[in-house]
Amino acid sequence: MRIVIGGMNHESNTFNPIITGADDFVVFYGEEMLTRGRTPSYASTGIITALEEGACDIVPTVLARAVPNGVVSAAFYRHLKAEWIKRIQEALTLGPVHGVCLALHGSMKVEALGCAEGDLLMAVRELLPDVPCTVALDMHATITPALLRCVDGFTAYKTAPHIDCQETGAHAARMLLHSLHTGKKLHTAYRRIPMLIAGEKSESEAEPMRSLIEACRGVEMQPGIEAASLLLGFPWADDEHNGVSVLVTSLAAGETGEKSADALAASFWARRHDFVFRSEWYDPRQSLEYAYQGVLEKKERPVFISDSGDNPTAGATGDGTELLERILETMDQAAQLPTPLLYSGFYDAPAVAACIKAGTGAVLDITIGGNWDQVNGKKIPLQVTVQKVARNFGPLQSDLVLVSHENLLITLTSKHIGFGDAALLPSLGINPGDYCLVVVKLGYLEPCFRTIADRAILATTKGCSHELLETIPYKKVRRPLYPLDPDLVFSVGT
């Protein structure tokens, strides 16, 4: 069997003014996908492994991945798409292709085009109209009519934070092979639930997601069912298709898949009021007050504050300054902390360049933040001392700088890479567990922070990933939509 594979992974935040381009993506072309691109945490790696186990002849196209950010450059997307198409055309000149299995995010948007995955799949379908196609999606995928038209079988991550990516890829590949080996066509039942939901209210270890995911696993045990998935959409995209989706893929059409999709959708809707923040949450001012109190009076350490409204891993700019401004207003309390207040951090290429030019140990005046998000932040002038520099960090080769200002330590990045990577702080010589108060531009804490946090506070700062969805000025989402319309009456099938 010859199977076309590929991957495209980006979550596009339409409130972020940054246009995500070539410098923000890591791309593996053709055979590179099978070697350098074979990273354990990727869904595409699961696809490759399962197809190899199935003795398939793999046709690799393109694997393109970027940290969530603003919408993707149309020119760069056209380049990626051309590379995909070229490789499929080349493969077809060498012989027949029997199937397609792709690892996609599902919420990638291109400037002036919209849904990237739908556009790409339509182009793939022009070349391969009749072969089965399965996809492994992110749990935060947005399902569009184009995706439903082009794809036969869907599966998606069942964990958030996402720790089952490889397993999900393998699932998509096995589903494709079942269809090819049995000669039965895959059929997907789809239900839309008119609801927006923040990731911080829908972690898979917490209720109600834990039970709802268990229900999906139960459906997957039924004869003939290949996959049952809950797709939560991505609330920081103002898009007419946004919402929660249920997808149940069966081998051959039948009542079981349809009824299961109905039941899962009804269960989800019935529990809509149960989606709440897992950690304590306050506005920025209160968050700081409780954190200082926790450290200074209750001896809690480390206390973590998530600067959740400006979470780059949810596509925010990473340069919002609301919380930094509050901290600078409370420097008398920060001064009492037994260790510096650690803030990780800010995406600020000009500040990083200035610090690197000045060198370690230099004292200089810079501005922090406000390069991109000038609605929820501004350039904050600060005199800093450059404590440490680390060059070419991670796959995007970002430069990192650690600066100090009085009893603050702040990390700065030259690229939009986010602050959830467990290796980022250690590369600057920092062990976050040594600090009593750590502020991170994240929503829910990644496992590397959660395991050491004595207390976790979610600060509902303003920014491109503002957690209070009811206050976001959406223009394009289809109304009515819960919780924007809290009294919405909905029943599955209507």
CA atoms within 13 A on the CB side of 40: 1
Residue 467, both tokens:
């957690």
| 140/405 with CB nearer Zn ion | 140
Q: How far is the CB of 164 from Zn ion (least distance, A)?
A: 12
Taking the least distance from each CB to Zn ion, the nearer of 369 and 443 is: 443
Judged by beta carbon, residue 98 or residue 140, the one nearer Zn ion is: 140
Residues 6+ apart with CB under 8 A from 224: 250, 251, 252, 254, 256, 257
Q: How far is 468 from 313, CA to CA, in rounded Å?
A: 17
Binders in 105-164 for Zn ion, by CB under 5 A? 138, 140
- Strands of the sheet with 99-104, listed across from one edge: 25-29, 57-66, 2-9, 99-104, 133-137, 153-156
Q: Based on CB atoms, which residue is closest to Zn ion, 42 or 290?
A: 42
Nearer residue to Zn ion within complex by CB, 156 or 368: 156
Tokens of 9: 């992974």
CB of 446 to Zn ion, least distance (A): 13
Q: Which is nearer to Zn ion, 231 or 437 (CB)?
A: 231
Min separation Cβ 138 and Zn ion, Å: 4
For residue 226, the SS3 value is strand
Q: Which is nearer to Zn ion, 140 or 201 (CB)?
A: 140
Q: How far apart are CA 338 and CA 253, in angstroms?
A: 64
Distance CA 431, CA 441 (A): 17
CB of 467 to Zn ion, least distance (A): 15
Q: How far is CA 443 from CA 160, 180, 218, 313, 342, in A?
A: 12, 41, 30, 8, 17
CB of 140 to Zn ion, least distance (A): 4
Residue 180 CB, shortest distance to Zn ion, in Å, is 29
For residues 202 and 483, what is the distance between their CA atoms, to the nearest angstrom?
Answer: 14
Buried b (16+ CB within 10 A) or exposed e, 330-365: eeebbeebeebbbbbbbbbbebbebbbebeeeeebe
If we measure between CA atoms, which residue out of 140, 33, 43, 44 comes closest to residue 87?
33
* Helix/strand number for the chain, H first, E second: 13, 20
Residue 326 makes contact with Zn ion by CB under 5 A: no
Quick one: DSSP state of residue 434?
G
CB closer to Zn ion out of 103 and 303: 103
Instruction: Provide, rounded to whole angstroms, the least separation between the CB of residue 60 and Zn ion.
Output: 24
> Of 336, 346, 347, 321, nearest to 291 (Cα)?
336
Spell out the residues 6+ positions from residue 329 whose beta carbon is closer than 8 angstroms to its own: none
- Least Cβ distance, residue 9 to Zn ion (angstroms): 10
Q: Give bridge partners of residue 58 from the DSSP assignment.
A: 3
State the minimum distance, in angstroms, from the CB of residue 162 to Zn ion: 6
Least distance from C-beta 493 to Zn ion, angstroms?
A: 28
Six-digit token string for 58: 């793999």
Tell me which residues in 41-60 interact with Zn ion (CB under 5 A).
Answer: none
Binding footprint of Zn ion, residue count (CB under 5 A): 2
Residue 336 CB partners (closer than 8 Å, separation 6+): 292, 296
Which of 138, 348 has the CB closer to Zn ion? 138
In the bound state with Zn ion, the residue whose beta carbon lies nearer, of 9 and 413, is 9
Residues 239-268 that bind Zn ion (CB under 5 A): none
Which lies closer to Zn ion via its Cβ, residue 82 or residue 422?
422
Rounded least distance, CB 89 to Zn ion, Å: 32
Q: Which of residues 368-397 bind Zn ion (CB under 5 A)?
A: none
Helix (H) or strand (E) holding 114: strand 114-115
CB of 139 to Zn ion, least distance (A): 5
Q: Using CB atoms, what's the residue nearest to Zn ion?
A: 140
Nearer to Zn ion, 81 or 105 (CB): 105
Could you tell me which residues are beta bridge partners of residue 228? 248
CA–CA dist 127, 137 (Å, integer)? 22
Q: How far is the CB of 369 from Zn ion (least distance, A)?
A: 25
- 491, 262 contact by CB (below 8 A): no
Q: Return the CA Rg of the chain.
A: 23
Report the residue number, 140 or 171, with the smaller CB distance to Zn ion. Answer: 140
> Which residues of the shown chain bind Zn ion in the complex (CB under 5 A)?
138, 140
